[in-house]
Homo-oligomer: A and B are copies of this chain.
Amino acid sequence: MIDVQNQKDYRNLAIDKVGVKDIRYPITVKDKVKKKQRTVASINMYVNLPKSYKGTHMSRFVEILSEYRHQISIENLPHILEEMKKRLKAASAHMEVSFPYFIEKEAPVSKTSGLMEYFCTFKGTLNHGMDLIVGLKIPINTLCPCSKEISKHGAHNQRGQVSLELRFQRFIWIEDIIKLVEECASSEVYSILKRADEKFVTERAYENPMFVEDVVREVALRLDGDENITWFTVETENFESIHNHSAYAFIERRKS
């Protein structure tokens, strides 16, 4: 049977990335407490294509994914990328793995335990060197300092979301980054709160007002102070309770 993909291409134009996108797959990732966590990921896998070839071999991406699906971790991404380069005879390889990650979390007073969902992404690019990025989306509560200051009583607050991306030198646990970020909000959010917890969370938020500007700054300060982090972006989005749109702030920092 003819291998059309393998035919020569005469347009003299290399392709930066070609592969499979939005393939959903059950994966197993590392968990700081339970060693392993099973979840479901959306995955993109690409390689470069030299100018002389007409097409890539799409089925090989899914074969590699199937083989490695129980060993998805930021530590293991380099091996998968090497495998992609080898099996697809490519000079560069890219992989993005996005998945919900769950952490057991106790309510602050009653200590009732429930699972909180965080959204995590691993991105890897293998070229001459290896480039790895960890991304996280972390729900938070923010209470408006202006609204508190100018109002007789109360203050508008809302759910917000901190999204960050990190480059780093040594392995980092998702759990540690989440903790760092949750300390920078008016309050953390929880899946279960009993009445004593709700009182605690309400008062903590009121006593700790934060603009989107404050949240990105606080997160950026902590990441700046961690010499293991070599680059980061952090953004905060508030799903404003008094508007039908979001307030947003963003900081990027490259540490040399």
* A residues with CB within 8 A of B: 1-5, 9, 11, 13-26, 37-40, 44, 46, 49, 54-56, 58-59, 62-63, 66, 100, 102, 112-117, 139, 141, 143-159, 187, 189-196, 198-199, 201-203, 205-206, 211-214, 216-218, 220-221, 237, 239-252
B205 touches A250 (CB 8 A): no
Chain B residues near A193: list those with CB within 8 A.
Answer: 59, 242-243
B212 touches A249 (CB 8 A): no
Give the Cβ gap from A199 to chain B, nearest Cβ, in Å: 5
Chain B residues near A14: list those with CB within 8 A.
Answer: 251
CB<8 Å pairs between A and B, sample of 7: A17-B249, A23-B244, A54-B213, A117-B244, A146-B198, A156-B205, A189-B244
- From A189, A198, A241, residue with most partner B Cβ within 10 Å: A241
A13 touches B251 (CB 8 A): yes
Contacts A15-B213, A141-B242, A151-B202 given: A191-B54 contact, CB under 8 Å?
no
